[in-house]
Amino acid sequence: MIKQPNILHNVSIKIAIYPGSFDPITNGHLDVLQRAASLFDKVILAVADTKNKNYLFTLQERVTLAQLCVGDKHNVEIKPFQGLLVEFAKKEHACAVVRGLRAVGDFEFEFQLALMNRQLVPGFETVFLFPQPSLMAISSTLVKEVAYYGGDVSPFVHPCVKKALEEKFATKKTP
C-alpha cells in the first residue's frame, strides 16, 4: 500500500475541525463535539457562514450560542469561517475534519464531501462520529420547527439556545 503524504499532519498536536452551520447548535452537535475533543488534542468548532443559506441566527449569534453551550473546555475553540473548509483547515493546521452522522442519507452526502476534500488536499482525513442514539433524530431544522410552533425544545438544546429560540419566535402568531 502506498501512503500519501499529508501536509496537514506535520504538526506536533492533532487538530480537528468540526464544521457546521449550527443554526442553532443542538445537543447532538455537542455530543459529537465532546467525543471529538476526547480524540484530538484540539477541536475547532467552525461556524460556517455560507452565502446560499438563510439562517435564523446571525453568524455572531451562532458563535455566541456555541460559546455559551461549550463553556471553557480547554481543547475546544469556536471560530467563524467562510469559504472552502480545506483552506480553513490548512490555515488552522488541522489534520482532520469531524462530521456527525445521524442516518444513511447523511452518509451519502458526507461521503461525497470527504472525497472532494481529499481530492483538494490529498491525505486530508474525515472522521465520522455518531451521536448517542437518543440524540440521533435531532436536527437544527426540526428544532427550529418545534420552537416556531411553541413546542418544548429543552430535550434537544442547551437552555441558552432554548431561550434564544423563544426570543426569535416571540413575535410570531400561530393561526
Q: Can 118 be counted among the known catalytic residues?
A: no
Check 35, 140, 158, 162 and give the catalytic one. Answer: 140
Q: Can 140 be counted among the known catalytic residues?
A: yes
Helices 27-39 and 59-70 meet at what angle, rounded to 10?
A: 60
CA distances in angstroms from 53 to 23, 36, 123, listed in the order given: 10, 26, 29
C-alpha cell of 55? Answer: 439562517
Check 29, 42, 62, 162 and give the catalytic one. Answer: 29
Check 3, 51, 53, 74 and give the catalytic one. Answer: 53
Find how far residue 25's CA is from the centre of its chain. 8
C-alpha cell of 74? Answer: 480547554
Check 90, 102, 118, 168 and give the catalytic one. Answer: 102
Q: Can 12 be counted among the known catalytic residues?
A: no
Q: Can 62 be counted among the known catalytic residues?
A: no
Which residues does residue 19 pair with via DSSP β-bridges, in sequence order? Answer: 46
Closest to 17 in 3D by CA, of 75, 70, 89: 89
Please tell me the distance from the alpha carbon of residue 30 to that of residue 25, in angstroms, as a whole number: 7
Please tell me the distance from the alpha carbon of residue 40 to that of residue 34, in angstroms, as a whole number: 10
**Active site residue ranges:** 29, 53, 102, 140
